[in-house]
Structure 1
Amino acid sequence: MKRLMERENRVSPALPAVTGPQGGWNQRKTMLLLMALSVALLAAVTVAGQALEQQALVTDFSRKNLPPSLAYPFGTDFMGRDMFVRTVTGLSMSIRIGLLTAAVSAAIACVMGLLAATMGRFVDGLIIGLIDLVLGIPHILLLVLISFAMGKGFWGVVVGISLTHWTSLARLIRAEVLQLKASQYIRIAEKLGEGRLAIALRHMVPHLLPQLFVGLVLMFPHAILHEASITFLGFGLSPEQPAIGVILSESMKYLAMGRWWLALFPGLFLVFVVVLFHYTGDTLGRLLDPGHAHQ
């Protein structure tokens, strides 16, 4: 008995170390801080781009083709436009397009996933067939076709990206709804006489919100890259707009002349924003995952 009491006394001082991190700094709080900083940075770029939109169009041929300097950190282009201002404005436009298209794609995915899982085998088969059809066509080709059919420009890009990015999230929503249908409270609601639409809206959609929110954030980087891609190919935003795709497309003509700054800085900042969006979505998914709640 004495040895047992001595052993408990030796073990008991270590107990606060197990419960201590819950009241102090832990990995979960670190992820929250980094995600907040990422969101704040992206919001600052968006607001700054809107404020500098008119300045990005100002031309001055007396300062054309200047390399990076203190006055012009990203240099100037062949029309004397400030490349730093144009880059920030282009990133702001890309972020806004990414937000809009990701929201529309998430809404389409939610509706399709709910219909596939709740409206019977026939509707399920139609939606699964539509998903396979969209996934079976090369992505960039489908984007170009839709954007061209819509007359290109802003709305052509938005419609094209929105109609091609919902498939993966729709499959995830469908799988989640099928699991929810087997739960006890959904069966009770069915026995109480509630309709399929009422059950979907009142009992299923609240459980799908975390998946929808994470999916929306993770679609941002794909939407931004595809907007820049089809604009670069000439099937997206108009050349008059200071978009990243337009900037990169124009810079290709001058790289052989040694004007490397025209493509380097916009390309690096585009990659940075895409990685930041991806990190934010991945962090948000881990925060909402119950398996990481103890960290």
Structure 2
Amino acid sequence: MSTAVVTANKGVFRGLNLRQKTLLIIGLTSLLLLTIVVSSVTMDEDSLKTDFGSKNLNPSAEHPFGTDWMGRDMFIRTVKGLGLSILVGAFASTISTVLAVVLGLLSSAGKAVDSFVSWLVDLFLSIPHLLLIILISIGLGGGAYGVIMGVTLTHWTSLTRVVRAEIKQLKTQEYIHISKNLGKSKWWIATKHILPHLIPQILLGTILMFPHAILHEASVTFLGFGLSPHEPAIGIILSESMKYLSAGYWWLAFFPGLSLLIVVLAFDMIGDNLGKIIDPKTAHE
């Protein structure tokens, strides 16, 4: 019976075209991420209270991810940490996208502005991301504000290059030259002709920015330059677990680390499949 069910499911999946499969994958992955965020917000804070009578318990049905050295449920801590990382990544990615689009549009204003934007992009890319995030975070006093601004101010460069290159290509189109000859302003051309064509690239760039933002936030927090130790962030959970790995409490790092990897891969999967829909070569397969 189970074989028949599996065969039937495969048959249904095979009956879908590439676009339908892609949308299904995007929908299921997005649902997973949304569930994590909603669960992290709605979970009862009382479940994170210390219970030294239940400390360092192995993974079980009652505690799927085990408990830590203070008796706190690691599954709940992990879900809350993932939700926090996703929210930080969303906030940082959104601001970075706005910054990238503004600079990309400004680059079309003239050669002097374009040269400045290009120089600024090269300057930021010449400094390692992690180092620059740490410097910005320290300079802004650390904490949530410092790490968010650090991630924000270091992740706009790649998307700016994409937007700038797309604008250069669009400016060679005939309808752009016609608009110029009709006396349309640069702002009118940018908002009416150029910006609408950039929306697919902007959307894809924003989604692909998520995993980088999440990983960098977790890395900086792990090193002690990010979120407050009182926050249930994944970086803090992993940093604290390093003290107990030698004692055999492997689950303190394994499950949070694996969960973070799954979230990052989920965003990559959404981005890759969204790229298939946007690409004219595969959009109608």
Please point out which of 201, 205, 212 is paired with 1:211.
Answer: 201
Superposition deviation, residue 140 in structure 1: 0.6
Amino acid at match of 2:40: G
Please point out which of 133, 139, 143 is paired with 2:133.
Answer: 143
Aligned residues: 271
Gaps of 5+ in 2: 1-14
Superposition deviation, residue 56 in structure 1: 5.3
Residue 90 of structure 1 pairs with residue 81 of structure 2: yes
Tell me the alpha carbon deviations over residues 157-186 of structure 1, each in whole angstroms, 9 at most, x when there is no partner: 111111000111101100100111111111
Distance 2:35 2:177 in 1: 47
TM-score, length-scaled by structure 2: 0.93
Q: Residues 133-282 of structure 1 correspond to what in structure 2 (within 5 A)? A: 133-282=123-272
Q: Contact conserved, 1:76 with 1:83, CA < 8 A, in 2?
A: yes
Distance 2:27 2:233 in 1: 26
Tell me the alpha carbon deviations over residues 197-216 of structure 1, each in whole angstroms, 9 at most, x when there is no partner: 12111211111000000000
Q: Contact conserved, 1:53 with 1:89, CA < 8 A, in 2?
A: no
Tell me the alpha carbon deviations over residues 41-70 of structure 1, each in whole angstroms, 9 at most, x when there is no partner: 100000001112624531111111111111
Structure 2 counterpart of 1:72: 63
Superposition deviation, residue 143 in structure 1: 0.5
Q: Contact conserved, 1:251 with 1:263, CA < 8 A, in 2?
A: yes
Distance 1:58 1:139 in 2: 36
Structure 2 counterpart of 1:54: 45
Superposition deviation, residue 294 in structure 1: 3.2
Distance 2:46 2:135 in 1: 33
Distance 2:32 2:122 in 1: 37
Superposition deviation, residue 151 in structure 1: 1.0
Structure 2 counterpart of 1:108: 99
Distance 2:124 2:47 in 1: 37
RMSD: 1.0
Amino acid at match of 2:234: I
Superposition deviation, residue 25 in structure 1: 2.2
Moved over 3 A (4+): none
Please point out which of 12, 15, 22 is paired with 1:31.
Answer: 22
**Alpha-carbon distance change, 54 to 192 in structure 1, aligned in 2, over 3 angstroms:** same
Superposition deviation, residue 142 in structure 1: 0.2
Structure 2 counterpart of 1:63: 54
Distance 1:37 1:56 in 2: 28
Distance 1:66 1:148 in 2: 36
Distance 1:286 1:83 in 2: 37
Superposition deviation, residue 287 in structure 1: 0.7
Distance 2:189 2:90 in 1: 29
Superposition deviation, residue 123 in structure 1: 0.9
**Alpha-carbon distance change, 100 to 124 in structure 1, aligned in 2, over 3 angstroms:** same
Distance 1:113 1:273 in 2: 29
